[in-house]
Every structure is written in C-alpha cells, then in structure tokens.
Structure 1
Amino acid sequence: MPADLPPADVLATGHHAPLPYEIRLPERPRTAIDLVVIHCTETPDLASARRFGERVLYGSGTGNSGHYYIDRDGSLHVYVAPERVAHHTRGYNERAVGIELVNTGRYPHWLDSRHQAMDEPYTPAQIQTLKALLASLREALPNLVYIAGHEDLDTATEPASDDPARRVFRKRDPGPLFPWPEVLAGSGLERIRAEP
C-alpha cells in the first residue's frame, strides 16, 4: 500500500475475494460492531491461511476466518464483509471485526509446549496497512471504540500436544512482537481484555 494513501481509500485498494460460504454467515447492522480483534494467521503464507478459512467446520456450511487479511507486503484482502458475522473469536463474533496478519506464529506446532515462541516480526508494510484500515473502519463503523488481541479475549488453555499433563494457551496471537503502542497511537480505540 502506498505510504500516502488516505485511510478512506485503503478498502478501495483491497483485494475483495469473499470466502465461498460468506453468504451463509449471519448478517448484522454496522452499528452492532464496537470491537476489532487483531489476529495472526499462524500459517506460512496467505494461500495457506485462505485454505484454512475455506474449510467448512459447522453445520451451517461455514468455517473459521477473519474479515480482513494483511499479507507481509502490506496488501489487504477482504474475505468477509463486515456486515457478516465471521467466526474468529469465541464469544465476541457478533460484535467484532477480525483482522488477520500473515505471520507464522507457532506454525505448525501450535499446541506443542516446546514450540510456544512467536518470533516472526510483523513487517512495517503490514503495520502501515493495519493503521490505515483501522482509521477507515473508524469512519465506516459508527460505534467502533474497542480493540483487542485474540490472546486478550481467548485466554483458555488446552493440554499440550507433546505432553497432555502440561497446558498451553489456545491462542497467543498477535503475540509479543505485535507493536501495540504504535498501533494504538492516534487510533482512537481503547484496548480491552477479557474479564478475569
């Protein structure tokens, strides 16, 4: 995305590629959205993230995905319109928009206790696009006031895949290398976390 692109234009330059089941996702008014949840794909690339998103996991014929995906080069991909409820954060989907940043995270050993480090930095291009997207969404969604990381809201643990006696966090994204101060500065959004 060009550095001088106004925030209002970021959605116009995005690649619109709706998931095959998008029309099956429940509709909602834009006024129902007050939260953005930041994720990382925990996959090696955008293509594999797309394949995960296309998987049908529910009786409704839908699966798990975010609304927006930002690749390492800063390109924006729209998989689900914000007027649809996507499955991306348990307990928050009806009120939230999900933004996925392509990043390996813990791939492919998500729940292995020996592989919980998330050490791939986010690219400057990704963060630039994310900030422009957040500004655009603030204009388009009148009640948008909150932001959270997936790890802030889904704090559940599961048995580790390598040792069921140990527990690991289900979700750790966007992880310790996500630049929260830079993203929050000037965003007009308040970071929230799950109630203990």
Structure 2
Amino acid sequence: MKKLLLASLIALLTGCATPLPNIDHSLTSKGQSSRVRFIVLHYTAIDLPLSVKVLTEQEVSAHYLLTDEVEPRFYALVDENRAAWHAGLSSWKNYTALNHSSIGIEIVNPGFKDEPDGRHWYPFSDRQMDQLVALLKQIKERHQIAPENILGHADVAPQRKQDPGPLFPWKRLADEGLIAWPDANAVAAALPKYEAELPDIAWFQQKLAQHGYATPQTGVLDPETHNVLVVFQAKYRNTKWDGVPDAESAAILDVLTAPKPKQ
C-alpha cells in the first residue's frame, strides 16, 4: 500500500510540474546592442575592508571595486549584464537613472580630509591608474562606449556628489584615448575672445547643458549652476574650481561643445 501511495504521489507531482521551455539558441538577431552606454567612476571615501563590506552587504553596489593595495586588483562584484546600484539619482544629456545603462567602478581612495588650513584631497596611485586604464579599454571595446560617456559620479550628479574628485587624473584617460579632452591650442586660441568679453550666465548654462550636465536654464548664477561649474572646473581645470564663470572656463566649454568635423 505504501509503495502504491508513493508511486501515485510521484505521478501526481510529475504531472503538475511546469515543463521546461524548448529554446533553440542557434540563431542570433543582427539588430541588437549592449545595454551599457556609460561608465561611471567613483571613489569609495573609506578604506578597503570597509569598502568591501559596504559594497557586498548593503544596498549600494558596483560592478567593480579597485583596491589600493601595493599591487592593486579588481573585485568583480556585479555582472556587467546586471544593474548595480551605484549612480543613484543621475543624468547625462538625455539619459536619466543611469544605474540601468552604466557600469560602475569604485576606486578605494579616502577622498578628502578637512584640516584647519583647508580641504586636502588624496591622489590616486599610478598603479591604480594602470589597472583602471586596462579595464576601461576592455569595457569600452566590449560595449562600444563613446568617449564622452566615460564619466565621474560628480558629472552625473553634480548637486550631491564630488567623486572622483579634483585629483583624479582625467588627462591620463584622455592620453590613453579613452575620453574626449579639450585641445590646448584651441582653448588658447579661444581665450582672448572671452577675456575681452565674458558671456552671460545664460550662455554658460546653455553650454554646460549641451556638454551633458543637468544645468538650470535660469539666466542667473544660482546655487545649482554654481555646483555644476565647480564639477566642470575640477575636471577640466583643477587648478581653480571655485564655481565662478571666467574666460578660461568659457574657452574650454567653447572647445568641448564645438561641432565635430564630419568624417
């Protein structure tokens, strides 16, 4: 009797089980592309052990964590095909909520320390940058990411974020062919024009938005526009980033937003 009941139960369970779908993976559509359009770079502002703990045990996450060890290495924490929770409220050009369209890379770096004589920022080591450049080249190639879409957290969230900070070596990434960078000769050529007559705030707001930043179009130097200018200057001219519109900032913006020559 027990054997009969067991057999009946097995038959019942087998009959109720959902059959596996019959999927043939031998074909591939031509019309497709990667979901990844952006790479967003961060500093952790905490040490390596705490960075690991936060990025693996809390709600915040990233695809990669670059250590600050003598021989830096990456921890791969989230598969590139999945969204990591690293960008938060964010935007660039016409895109918003960049978690869903970006790869996030956290770099172990203390960020800054406030001292009586002011704020001191921590540099990134050359070995960290060597590792970062190598990974960025792979990701850029893998997902066909445009140079203007490799960004800092501050670029996509200028009202609340500062990372990776003014000491992040963006020019190194430009020299490696990873990001767009204003040509120094073109900036120098444009500078006298803006020294003679500085554009109004509406011009700066328009150019900052054209470049990609979420910028108010109020025509006045409001706190939000000031914050965007700070982020912009810290990236492209980190010797002075006070958020005050000036001729050099105008010349850099002019060059960055100039129409690209037709191929």
TM-score range, shorter chain: 0.5 to 0.7
Cα offset for 1:52?
1.2
Paired residue for 1:172, among 157, 162, 167? 162
Map Cα deviations across residues 54-81 of structure 1 (whole Å, 9 max, x no partner): 344xxxxxx1111111111321111111
- 1:36 — aligned with what? 39
Change (3 A) 1:79 1:117: farther
Change (3 A) 1:68 1:174: same
Matched, 1:76 2:66: no
Matched, 1:119 2:155: no
Change (3 A) 1:116 1:130: farther
Structure 2 matches for 1:97-136, cutoff 5 A? 97-106=103-112, 117=119, 119-136=121-138
SS of equivalent residue, structure 2 residue 45: coil
CA distance in 2, matches of 1:93, 1:116: 33
CA distance in 2, matches of 1:123, 1:186: 16
Letter in 1 for 2:65: Y
SS of equivalent residue, structure 1 residue 117: strand
Instruction: List runs of 5+ in structure 1 lacking aligned partners.
Output: 1-28, 57-62, 157-169
Matched, 1:137 2:139: yes
Percent identity over the alignment is: 28
Map Cα deviations across residues 146-168 of structure 1 (whole Å, 9 max, x no partner): 11110111122xxxxxxxxxxxx
CA distance in 1, matches of 2:145, 2:63: 17
Preserved CA contact (<8 Å) 2:56 2:77: no
Change (3 A) 1:106 1:128: same
Letter in 1 for 2:213: A
SS of equivalent residue, structure 2 residue 81: coil
Cα offset for 1:139?
2.3
CA distance in 2, matches of 1:121, 1:183: 15
SS of equivalent residue, structure 1 residue 103: coil
Paired residue for 2:63, among 61, 64, 67? 67
SS of equivalent residue, structure 1 residue 64: coil
- 1:164 — aligned with what? none
Instruction: List runs of 5+ in structure 2 lacking aligned partners.
Output: 1-31, 89-96, 182-210, 216-263
Letter in 1 for 2:73: S
Letter in 2 for 1:89: A
Structure 2 matches for 1:4-15, cutoff 5 A? none
Cα offset for 1:193?
4.3
After TM superposition, the score normalised by the length of structure 1 is 0.65
- 2:52 — aligned with what? 50
CA distance in 1, matches of 2:67, 2:79: 18
Matched, 1:147 2:145: no
- 2:179 — aligned with what? 189
- Kindly indicate whether structure 1 or structure 2 has the higher relative contact order, using CA contacts under 8 Å at least 6 residues apart: 1
Cα offset for 1:144?
5.1
CA distance in 2, matches of 1:195, 1:115: 32
Change (3 A) 1:86 1:190: farther
